[in-house]
Amino acid sequence: MLKKILSIAGKPGLYKLVSYGKNMLIVENLETGKRTPAYARDKIVSLGDISIYTLEDDKPLGEVLQALLDKQQGAVVEVNDKDNDALTALMADVLPNYDPDRVHLSDIKKLVQWYNLLVATGNTEFKEAEPVAAETEKPAE
């Protein structure tokens, strides 16, 4: 689901991919439902392609959002974005092994902002669907 949710540089909020046009994407603002074109010159990033730095490997954004959803029990995060200690404590609680040298406060603020927007709009399917392995048929004996 996160593959179709987009962040567009210079535009507030998140957008859902609706369709493809010639040299553009048709996107819909999650909050307003207004559809607009997004062109190739716009810096567009799918939330499914984002990961958070940890001390071991990178953690996909979907897993971090799911951990936050589980911690918050489906509720929005009530934290002041000016309270740096609360933001870092939240991040340490959700992802204990995150890399504090490479994950900046602005990244944590963006994570909380995106999470709250996704929860408010009912887009809480953060984990990608597991591909179903095709069962092989056993030959008859």
Please write the tens of the pLDDT for every residue from 95-116. Answer: 999 999 999 999 999 999 999 9
Q: Are residues 40 and 81 in the same domain?
A: no
Crossing angle (nearest 10°) for helices 61-72 and 84-94: 100
Q: Are residues 91 and 108 in the same domain?
A: yes
Read off the pLDDT of each residue in 68-87 and give the average, rounded to a whole number. 88
The chain-wide mean pLDDT, for the chain, equals 87
CATH number, domain at 41?
2.30.30.730
Q: Are residues 65 and 41 in the same domain?
A: no
